[in-house]
Amino acid sequence: MMARAAAAVVVFSCTGCGRVHFEDGGGSGGCGHCGAALVGKKVSGRGNIYAFSVVHIAPEQMDAPYTLALVDLEGAGRVLCRLDGFGVEIPTVGGPVVFEGNSPRGPLFRAGEISENARG
């Protein structure tokens, strides 16, 4: 059985602090946190929710409510992102998500169905 394939995505791991970035650091080419070099790496784009929080009082220029999450990205590590596409459903810790794309407000993941997780 075929699941809808997640788009492969290139992430950038920091050689200093280990943080995972979705962009290459722009002009500096380094980690936005510690300034060390970044190494690009292709990953599946699939992950699982480690934790999430629905934000009801948003900073300026953000539409509330939105969902912030820590996602364990397959082959990369834990990343901070926003979740989309859950509608009225509440995300589940451990639930599968798929990288959707970068936005001006950071990386975006949506609910993802992964057939490897056979139930029952």
| List of residues contacting Zn ion (CB under 5 A) | 14, 16-17, 31, 33-34, 36
Q: Which is nearer to Zn ion, 37 or 90 (CB)?
A: 37
Q: Where are the beta strands (DSSP E) in the chain?
A: 9-14, 20-21, 38-43, 46-55, 66-73, 77-84, 96-103, 106-111
Q: How many residues does the chain have?
A: 120
The DSSP-derived string for 54-70 is EESSPPTT-PSSEEEEE
Instruction: Name residue 68's beta-bridge partners.
Output: 53, 82
Q: Which is nearer to Zn ion, 94 or 106 (CB)?
A: 106
Q: Which is nearer to Zn ion, 13 or 67 (CB)?
A: 13
Smallest distance from the beta carbon of 15 to Zn ion, in angstroms?
8
Smallest distance from the beta carbon of 24 to Zn ion, in angstroms?
13
Smallest distance from the beta carbon of 86 to Zn ion, in angstroms?
30
